[in-house]
Amino acid sequence: MANPFMAPTLPVELPDDPMTWAEAWLNEAIRRSVQRNPNTMTLATVAEDGQASARVVLCKAFVKDPGYVVFYTNYRSRKIVELRSNPKVAAMFHWDALGRQIRLEGTAVFSPSDESDTYFASRDWGSQIGAWGSDQSYTLTSRQALKDQVLERAHELGVDVSDDLQSLTSDDRPNLSRPAHWGGIRLWPHTIELWIEGTDRIHDRASWRRSMSAAGDHDFVTGAWTGTRLQP
């Protein structure tokens, strides 16, 4: 049976829950392996001086109800410096092979630390040591300086290695705990737009909004979505 979420347009009467559609599109992109990282999203932040910046991150959880996405990063990176002063961020997914785009606008909050711990523990060892080894977004004098820094951090963590982390066997890789400077970010959208490519550039496009009020450090109480079709 054809996937109803892959119809060439959105339903005549817009669905009440765009997050269900967005999740279905992400799942379809993953199922079809439409690109190397189908869970890629571009994240835009705005610095205190008003300068916008964008970069790609990986969406590691799509929680359609109550409705937020999660990515993981270094909490001292530029994007986090910017979202600490201005948590109003935007993100977008684009799958060219599916002719679909999703835009999210909302508020970024830090994930609960136990959730970040669980995710960090599920990562492969190389990614774990990478999180310890790199001061993301900081300047570097040379590539060699980064390699030396990673080895130095590995030594500090009790890893017995002379010059090549790749040479380690699994026995030489001690369990690593999550560094405090690394973890998850939840993006809670108050606005979401779904876009489907159409012929002659007569695309189909709709935007939904909802109310949100903070409920603690990590969550929001959200209202119902209200959708409106937009000209392409």
Ligand X SMILES: Cc1cc2nc3c(=O)[nH]c(=O)nc-3n(C[C@H](O)[C@H](O)[C@H](O)COP(=O)(O)O)c2cc1C
- Please report, as ranges, the residues that interact with ligand X according to CB under 6 A: 37, 40, 53, 55-58, 71-74, 77-79, 136-137
User: Shortest distance, CB of residue 45 to ligand X, whole angstroms?
Assistant: 7
- Tokens 């990590």 belong to residue: 218
Between 45 and 207, CB nearer to ligand X: 45
Rounded distance between C-alpha atoms, residue 183 and residue 194, angstroms: 28
Count CB-CB contacts under 10 A for residue 143.
8
- Paired tokens of 147: 């390699």
Shortest reach from residue 131's CB to ligand X, in Å: 9
Alpha helical stretches, state H, the chain: 18-31, 78-85, 113-122, 125-133, 143-156
Between CA 22 and CA 27 the distance in angstroms is 9
Q: Which is nearer to ligand X, 14 or 34 (CB)?
A: 34
Contact 29, 95 (CB under 8 A): yes
In the complex with ligand X, which residue's Cβ is closer, 98 or 131? 131
Nearest to 219 by CA among 81, 72, 68: 68
- Provide the minimum distance between the beta carbon of 105 and ligand X in the complex, in angstroms, as a whole number: 18
Among residues 123 and 147, whose Cβ is nearest to ligand X?
Answer: 123
Cβ at position 52, least distance to ligand X in Å: 11
Closer by beta carbon to ligand X, 112 or else 130: 130
Closer by beta carbon to ligand X, 52 or else 214? 52
Q: Exposed, middle or buried: residue 25 (CB in 10 Å: 0-12, 13-18, 19+)?
A: buried
Q: How far is the CB of 136 from ligand X (least distance, A)?
A: 5
Task: Please state the closest distance from residue 113 (CB atom) to ligand X, in A.
Answer: 17
Give 31's contacts (C-beta < 8 A, 6+ positions apart). Answer: none
